[in-house]
Amino acid sequence: MQCDYFDSARCRSCTLMGTPYDVQLAEKDARVRRLLAAQVPDDAWATPFAGPESGFRNKAKLAVGGTTTAPTLGLLDRDGAGVDLRDCGIHEPGLREVLPRLAEFVTLAAIEPYRLSTRRGELKNLLVTRSPTGELMLRFVLRSQEAVARIRKHLPALRAALPQLHVVSVNILPEHRAVLEGDLEIPLTAQQTMPMPLSAITVHLRPQSFFQTNTAVADALYAQAVTWSHDAGAAHVWDLYCGVGGFGLHLAAPGRRVVGVESSAEAIASARISAAGLPGELEFVVGDATEYAARHRGADLIVVNPPRRGIGELAGLLDGGDVRTVLYSSCNAESLARDLDRMPSLRPARARLFDMFPQTWHHEVLVLLERA
């Protein structure tokens, strides 16, 4: 993949840009295998799964800079100046197509971009998510509610220009800190969930719920989990750190009880909507994964999909428990290695790299653990 932004040094976020993709994939797979060499045997590894090397991101996270009349959508440089990246080639084409309209809307609604140097202005970020069917979710991340009335006033014009706009909201981030969004979400459309159809199920997203940014690879990851879990014959499944329920929803089956646990109430609300009509008994609860595992028993199969820091104390609980099979999905092979060391009674039987983030060293690894 060739990128003008990378070649001109305007953006260096994609650290592997310019490296042939087959070389990227081979080197990334080798790197992950080295990091896990002490825990995962060579013969456990499957061929890495890869989707398209460009046009794969279903979500654009755009820092807004510039001025009201000439906004930039992309990132901020070290001096806080806006760098426009609206033609970024890793975004899905359907995302790139709408960004000029969003820039025009910033001008129409007179939303002043936030300036880091002076801590003045309103619009910090635009977050845009696209479903496989083309529908869009748009979130304005603002410093305050000062511009909300103007956004409401001009929103009909934006929706007329972008009929695929399905969900719109405002997120309020008053603090001057390096985070993407705040706690307060203000809905601007009656519809506040967006369907994300996958091969086997449809996941329903709400504004503050997380979903993998690469739809094709996420679909393959969930399908692999289902295939590897077949031999477990599980009647009772826990999906810990479940997010919007991707793994648990895919593992739903007649006669099977699935419980998903996640600290985000928004994500759990999404999972509960998606569970409607699926077979078996599905329950999604807001809570801490480690606390849940400490209080309950009876799972035959446990899925963990933690943040980068890994599962920590939960590893000891799983090692000392009676669960026979664990599926561990990790975005950080280093923390995964530490966690596997804490679970010596659960041995890796299968492992596979899923290239969720082409052009970077970031990775997703799925490991099947079986009790010795």
Catalytic residue chosen out of the listed positions 14, 88, 242, 331:
331
**Residue 172 shares a structural domain with residue 105:** yes
Instruction: Compute the distance between CA of residue 76 and CA of residue 80 in angstroms, rounded to an integer.
Output: 5
**Residue 234 shares a structural domain with residue 103:** no
* CATH number of the CATH domain containing 278: 3.40.50.150
**Residue 345 shares a structural domain with residue 281:** yes
> Where a domain ends, among 191, 226, 243?
191
**Residue 219 shares a structural domain with residue 341:** yes
**Residue 136 shares a structural domain with residue 111:** yes
**Residues 363 and 331: beta-carbon distance below 8 Å:** yes
3-state helix, strand, coil in the chain (%, to 5): 30, 30, 40
Among candidate residues 331, 317, 318, 316, the one with its CA nearest the CA of residue 367: 331
Judge whether 331 counts as a catalytic residue: yes
Among candidate residues 331, 295, 296, 292, the one with its CA nearest the CA of residue 310: 331
> Where a domain ends, among 191, 209, 225?
191
pLDDT, residue 138, reads 98
pLDDT, residue 178, reads 82
Q: Which residue has the tokens 């046009």?
A: 55
**Residue 249 shares a structural domain with residue 338:** yes
Number of domains in the chain: 2
Spatial neighbors of 149 by CB under 8 A, at least 6 apart, are none
- Residue 153 has what DSSP assignment? H
pLDDT, residue 78, reads 87
* CATH number of the CATH domain containing 153: 2.40.50.1070
> Where a domain ends, among 171, 191, 211?
191
Per-residue tokens: 247: 């793994």
**Residue 85 shares a structural domain with residue 46:** no
Q: Are strands 257-262 and 236-240 parallel, antiparallel or unpaired?
A: parallel
Instruction: Compute the distance between CA of residue 361 and CA of residue 357 in angstroms, rounded to an integer.
Output: 8
Q: What are phi and psi of 59, to 5 degrees?
A: -135, 130
pLDDT along the chain (372 residues), means of 10: 95 96 98 98 98 97 97 94 96 97 98 94 98 98 98 98 97 92 97 96 95 97 97 95 98 98 96 97 98 96 97 97 97 98 98 98 97 92
3-class secondary-structure state, position 100: helix
**Residue 205 shares a structural domain with residue 313:** yes
Spatial neighbors of 136 by CB under 8 A, at least 6 apart, are 98, 128, 129, 130, 162, 164, 165, 166, 167, 194
**Residues 324 and 370: beta-carbon distance below 8 Å:** yes
H-helix segments, the chain: 4-7, 21-35, 93-96, 99-108, 148-161, 215-229, 246-250, 265-275, 289-295, 313-320, 333-341
Instruction: Compute the distance between CA of residue 23 and CA of residue 27 in angstroms, rounded to an integer.
Output: 6
Instruction: Compute the distance between CA of residue 242 and CA of residue 207 in angstroms, rounded to an integer.
Output: 17
Rg from Cα positions in the chain: 21
**Residue 205 shares a structural domain with residue 345:** yes
**Residue 249 shares a structural domain with residue 275:** yes
pLDDT, residue 79, reads 87
Owning domain of residue 152: 59-191
Which pTM value belongs to this model? 0.95
State the distance between the two ends of the chain, measured CA to CA, in whole angstroms. Answer: 44
**Residue 89 shares a structural domain with residue 175:** yes
pLDDT, residue 201, reads 97
Per-residue tokens: 272: 């509960």
**Residue 258 shares a structural domain with residue 365:** yes
**Residues 325 and 229: beta-carbon distance below 8 Å:** yes
Burial 187-224 (b: 16+ CB within 10 A, else e): ebeeebbbebebeebbbbbbbbbbbbbbbbbbbbbbeb
The most distant pair of C-alpha atoms in the chain lies apart, rounded to whole Å, by 64
User: What element of type H or E holds 74?
Assistant: strand 71-76
